[in-house]
Amino acid sequence: MPPESSSSPSPRLDRRQALAWLAVAAVGLTASGRLPLGAAEPGDRPHGKRIGADPVLNKTYVPGELWPLSFTPAQRAAADALADLILPPEAGGKKPSELGVPAFIDEWVSSYYDETLKDRPIILAGLTWLDAEAQRRHGAVFAKLTEAQQAGIADDICGVKPVKKEHKPGQDFFKRFRHLAAGGYYTTPQGMRELGYVGNTPSANFDGPTPEALKHLGLA
């Protein structure tokens, strides 16, 4: 957990904002053709090959079993800190880093699929940029900053306010990382509970449509 600022309460990115981002992301946040931060072309595959077939989907795999993971220890620490900043848990809940959200993002950018490979250069270069920007501003990597310092960097690249020219390299990264982190978090049991989602829950019986619903459809 990042150390807290001793001078003032640490600002947080609130839950409603994260949910709004998720809704927007589902519609419009796709990986663009633009490659920020001088990244490699998406076609530069991480392991020089493509996966030949989908994994066995009813089997449980440990991280790195299907393909080598990509994050360096420094990138993983930055991803942990940023995910926890974007999606702070509700009271009594676990942080995204404790739920494996950054591990999910690492698996995502390490896989061989065309769509996931588009995100690889954006996420890897972006995490490196995040640490470089933290060092430039505060003399420490992103994970070692106070929460207020982390939020200051995030606020400058998240797009809520106009992004300055010098912060443009982090904008595409933050947009995509936020989308992946939200998708990972809200598909965990904790995230689904926060959304009030009750799907995938067995039911002892099915009562069918209510009389009001049948009447509305002209079937009653």
- Please check whether residue 146 lies inside any domain of the structure: yes
Does any domain span residue 7? no
Asked if the structure places residue 130 within a domain, the reply is yes
Asked whether residue 113 is domain-assigned, the answer is yes
Domain around 84? 15-216
| Residue 1 resides in a domain | no
Residue 4 in any domain: the answer is no
User: Full-prediction pTM beyond 0.75?
Assistant: no
In a domain, residue 45? The reply is yes
Among 107, 116, 96, 122, smallest CA distance to 182 is for 96
pLDDT tens for 144-186 read 999 999 999 999 999 888 989 889 889 999 999 999 999 999 9
Structurally, how many domains does the chain consist of? Answer: 1
User: Is residue 8 situated within a structural domain?
Assistant: no
pLDDT digits (tens, 9 = 90+) for 46-79: 555 555 567 777 888 777 788 889 999 999 999 9
